[in-house]
């Protein structure tokens, strides 16, 4: 989606894909005058466009994030690396999706990019998707706006733990080891 800057508040939102960012972008656009950079730029890219003073972002459990991504992509018949999906029958299975997932050091902006890479060296306010309603109260307070946060672009699925084999669980742990360690996530 987008990075959002609120010039009057000196606050910038860094949108990491599949971390409830579309909901935050929608909330910001509906309640404030904003500047926008389309795509999913990282913090360093954003700093080339704006004078960034205060920042916030959202991180999410990597295992839950991959389940959400898979079902979101399937729901909208879109596959991040392959836009040739013609019907639901063409969409990869969960096993194939995880098998094809690999950390690519040459392309930082992919589904397998660690979340910490979007916000390196860090943000002023780090929210967690798992506690977003409560965490977001800080942003509402900073901005003096108590409008509720909408929840958009959600995907339909069961608890993320139900989808993983041990091998798949370990693969995600290997790919997202930086996020797991830094943000203290557990399966």
87 pLDDT band (50/70/90 cuts)? low
Residue 134 pLDDT exceeds 90:
yes
Are 149 and 133 a contacting pair, CB within 8 Å? Answer: yes
Please give the Cα distance from 63 to 10 (Å, whole number): 33
State CA 96 to chain mean position distance.
Answer: 22
Please state, in angstroms and rounded to a whole number, the distance separating the CA atoms of residues 82 and 74: 12
Q: Which residue has the higher pLDDT, 92 or 169?
A: 169
pLDDT at residue number 125: 98
Instruction: Identify which has the larger pLDDT, 76 or 131.
Output: 131
The predicted pLDDT at position 77 comes to 64
Query: What was the pLDDT predicted at 100?
Result: 87
Per the structure block, which two tokens stand in for 49?
A: 């466009």
Banded pLDDT at 109 (limits 50, 70, 90): low
Using 50, 70 and 90 to split pLDDT, how confident is the model at 85?
low
Q: What is the pLDDT of residues 32-78, one digit of tens each?
A: 999 999 988 999 999 999 999 999 999 999 999 999 999 988 887 66
Residue 79's pLDDT is what?
53
SS3 content of the chain, % helix, strand, coil (to 5): 45, 15, 45
Structural domains of the chain ordered from first start: 2-183 (3.40.50)
Q: CA of 140: how far to CAs of 22, 60, 117, in Å?
A: 16, 20, 26
In this prediction, residue 106 carries a pLDDT of: 56
Q: Cβ distance 57 to 13 under 8 Å? A: yes
Beta strands in the chain (DSSP E): 2-6, 11-14, 35-38, 54-59, 125-128
Confidence of residue 91 (pLDDT cuts 50, 70, 90): confident
């Amino acid at each position: 989606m987008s990075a959002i800057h609120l010039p009057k508040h000196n606050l910038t939102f860094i949108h990491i894909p599949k971390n409830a960012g579309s909901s935050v972008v929608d909330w910001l656009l509906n309640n404030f005058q904003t500047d926008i950079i389309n795509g999913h730029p990282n913090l360093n890219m954003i700093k080339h466009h704006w004078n960034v003073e205060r920042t916030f972002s959202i991180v999410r459990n990597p295992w839950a994030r991959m389940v959400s991504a898979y079902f979101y992509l399937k729901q909208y018949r879109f596959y991040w690396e392959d836009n040739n999906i013609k019907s639901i029958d063409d969409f990869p299975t969960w096993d194939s999706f995880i098998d094809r997932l690999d950390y690519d050091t040459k392309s930082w902006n992919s589904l397998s990019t660690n979340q910490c890479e979007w916000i390196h060296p860090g943000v002023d306010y780090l929210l967690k998707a798992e506690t977003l309603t409560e965490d977001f109260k800080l942003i509402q307070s900073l901005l003096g706006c108590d409008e509720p946060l909408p929840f958009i672009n959600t995907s339909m699925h069961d608890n993320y733990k139900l989808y993983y084999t041990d091998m798949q669980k370990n693969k995600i742990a290997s790919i997202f080891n930086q996020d797991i360690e830094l943000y203290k996530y557990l399966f």
